[in-house]
Amino acid sequence: MALARVRRNEFAALTPVWQDRYTSYVAGIERYLADNPAEVPEWAPPLEPATSARTAPCADLAVAVADAARVISPPAPSSALTPLASNAWALLGSRTHDGASYLLSDPHVPLGSVLSPAVSSPLGAPLPRGFQGVEIQLRTPDRRMTGYAMAGTLLPLLGNSEHCGWAFTTGGPSVSDAYWFPASDDERFVVAHEHIAIAGADNYELVQQSTTVNGRYCPVVASDEQRRYVICTTYVDNTAALDEQLWDMYGARVLG
């Protein structure tokens, strides 16, 4: 798919160290699938390091798609979407009885299960409201941490090491935008025909439309007779940036 080509270009620009990390990550999944063939569906696509799941910008894309859906077809007051929610708080040792610092993070996502999808959107599919989460322990010669990861991503997103802890809530900055362009502006858009394997469908053809906004790949997420709606995400071609930041956080000893 077009986004897969963006990912392959991004992967080629990574340092050899990070290329090796993603390659090893996918090799581990392939080893598990080889050892447990009964768990592999017939339609499972081949894996490759360049297109392995990344932590960002999945959440921002979901928020932008939801925003676009509300613009295209505003919901009635009685059917307003329930907002996502989470909470976190921290206390320094100077404010606790035992002198220890505490960090509590509650992303409102159940461990080991999938948070149910939201109501259907005007874009023809449910809007995601969560992800499958698993607890992970990481032990290397210079890093020891315990965290909580999205299934299918390389590194835990929430957690703590021997020296610091970190958390994320759902109210972070928005780095995605929704745009519309005249439907008649055919020269602006690229149309790609992809054939993918899906359970219960033979040789399914997916027609993708995309354009470029501010130098970024932007997929078309909806269209009507007058307009085509696209999503533009800042980190669409640099999704490894968050993994790099997380890896540095795991080894941090001081805040600053």
Angle at 49 between CA 45 and CA 54, to 5 degrees: 95
Helical residues (DSSP H) of the chain, grouped into ranges: 2-13, 16-35, 58-72, 240-250
Q: What is the pTM of this model?
A: 0.71
Topology of 176-233 in CATH?
A: Penicillin G acylase, beta-roll domain (2.30.120)
User: How many angstroms separate the most distant Cα atoms in the chain?
Assistant: 67
Cα separation, 67 vs 233, whole angstroms: 13
Strands 227-233 and 216-223 come out as antiparallel
13-62: per-residue pLDDT in tens? 889 999 998 999 899 989 999 999 998 887 777 888 887 655 544 555 55
For residue 21 the two structure tokens come to 């990390």
For the chain, the structural domain boundaries read 1-52, 55-76+83-174+240-256, 176-233
Cα separation, 59 vs 176, whole angstroms: 10
Task: From 107, 119, 125, 115, select the one nearest 82 (Cα to Cα).
Answer: 119
153-174: per-residue pLDDT in tens? 788 888 889 888 888 776 666 6
